[in-house]
């Protein structure tokens, strides 16, 4: 290791790490967090604004709900008003959209702990993760979090992180060969959900877990990102959906089984509720908003 550090120093390689995104701020714990500002459509597929809290939408006033999640919550390629947090707000339940594209349960838990998201004292926290947890990588998110801390001082760790970032180039010939592990192993996924539940409860909030639905028919005809992922990886998704149900039952929190609901509503048109295998369209977000309003006891009275 010392030899490697010395060689890299001679070559002029400096210890550093950066996520490098126009819309995100580097973060040692959660890799990155949203940067406040206004963004044109080419960034997220639709115009977006990010508040000082890092949430999508206007500055929160008196939010009663915090919706934690990934791009499925953020609403990529959707107008802000079409997302389920905005739909809840429009119906009188002000909701903070804390969905972050690319985040998983590991990064979401760490962002929740280190951010101001719970400062407004929301009465309910909804949690919607799963997809980015089981996508495969060269190592787990927890391992790379350790590398980020090491990379502050280590040239070797910086080089490894740069290599890891290059693996996410779907045009790279090594993209499919160097991804061996789930970003968040199943046992860690459950632990992360419990951690989020604990943080929310400590702040006086109730919790509702949401299962992430899938439309496998769109994966079979997928292009770009989805074409580069095997159907085997999509099969892993069911294990994470089951883990959400199990964690909700074990911890006594609420559950919106969106995966089961979408399965029950499936018809001939795979695009009825989906943009792609994992992201809901505007109609899908309306279904989720309805489920949160109607199926959670006392939700409307929050």
The domains of the chain are located at 36-135+183-297
How many whole angstroms separate alpha carbon 69 and alpha carbon 3? 42
- Strands 206-210 and 124-128, bridge-based pairing: parallel
Contact 241, 271 (CB under 8 A): no
Using one digit for the tens of pLDDT, what is the confidence trace for 203-213?
999 999 999 99
Task: Indicate the fold that domain 36-135+183-297 takes in CATH.
Answer: Rossmann fold (3.40.50)
Q: Tell me, what's the pLDDT at 172?
A: 46
Average pLDDT over the chain, rounded to whole? 84
Q: Tell me, what's the pLDDT at 174?
A: 44
How many whole angstroms separate alpha carbon 54 and alpha carbon 37? 9
- Strands 48-50 and 31-34, bridge-based pairing: unpaired
180: pLDDT strictly greater than 90: no
* pTM of the predicted model as reported, rounded to 2 decimal places: 0.86
Using one digit for the tens of pLDDT, what is the confidence trace for 65-74?
999 999 999 9
Determine which of 64-68, 160-164, 246-250 has the lowest per-residue pLDDT on average: 160-164
142: pLDDT strictly greater than 80: no
DSSP 100: -
Contact 164, 246 (CB under 8 A): no
Burial letters 161-194, b for 16+ CB under 10 A, else e:
beebeebeeeeeeeeeebbeebbbbeebbbbbbb
DSSP 59: P
Q: Tell me, what's the pLDDT at 222?
A: 53
Instruction: Calculate what percentage of the chain has a pLDDT beyond 70.
Output: 72
Residues in contact with 35: Cβ distance below 8 Å, sequence separation at least 6, in sequence order: 22, 23, 24, 25, 50, 54
Contact 25, 35 (CB under 8 A): yes
3-state secondary structure of 24: strand
Indicate the pLDDT class of residue 169, thresholds 50, 70 and 90: very low
Phi, psi of 91 (to 5 degrees): -95, 15
Using one digit for the tens of pLDDT, what is the confidence trace for 89-127?
999 999 999 999 999 999 999 999 999 999 999 999 999
Residues in contact with 259: Cβ distance below 8 Å, sequence separation at least 6, in sequence order: 211, 212, 213, 214, 241
């Amino acid at each position: 290791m010392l030899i490697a550090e010395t060689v890299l120093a001679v070559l002029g390689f400096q210890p550093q790490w950066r996520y490098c995104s126009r819309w995100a701020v580097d973060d040692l714990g959660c890799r990155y967090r949203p940067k406040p500002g206004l963004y044109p459509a080419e960034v997220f597929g639709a115009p977006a604004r990010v508040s000082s809290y890092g949430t999508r939408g206007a500055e929160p006033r008196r939010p009663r709900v915090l919706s934690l999640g990934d791009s499925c919550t953020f609403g990529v390629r959707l107008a802000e008003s079409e997302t389920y947090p905005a739909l809840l707000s429009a119906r009188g339940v002000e909701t903070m959209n804390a969905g972050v594209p690319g985040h998983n349960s590991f990064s979401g838990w760490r962002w929740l702990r280190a951010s101001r998201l719970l400062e407004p004292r929301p009465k309910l926290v909804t949690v919607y993760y799963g997809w980015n947890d089981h996508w495969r990588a060269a190592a787990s998110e927890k391992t790379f979090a350790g590398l980020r801390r090491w990379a502050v001082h280590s040239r070797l760790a910086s080089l490894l992180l740069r290599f890891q970032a290059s693996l996410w180039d779907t045009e790279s010939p090594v993209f499919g060969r160097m991804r061996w592990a789930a970003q968040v192993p199943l046992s860690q996924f459950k632990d992360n959900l419990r951690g989020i539940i604990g943080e929310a409860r400590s702040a006086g909030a109730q919790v509702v877990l949401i299962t992430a639905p899938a439309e496998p028919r769109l994966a079979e005809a997928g292009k770009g990102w989805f074409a580069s992922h095997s159907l085997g990886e999509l099969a892993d998704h069911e294990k994470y959906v089951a883990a959400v149900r199990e964690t909700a039952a074990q911890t006594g929190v609420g559950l919106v089984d969106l995966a089961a609901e979408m399965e029950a509503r499936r018809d001939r048109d795979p695009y009825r509720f989906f943009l792609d295998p994992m992201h809901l369209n505007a109609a899908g977000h309306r279904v989720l908003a309805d489920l949160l309003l109607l199926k959670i006891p006392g939700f409307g009275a929050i």
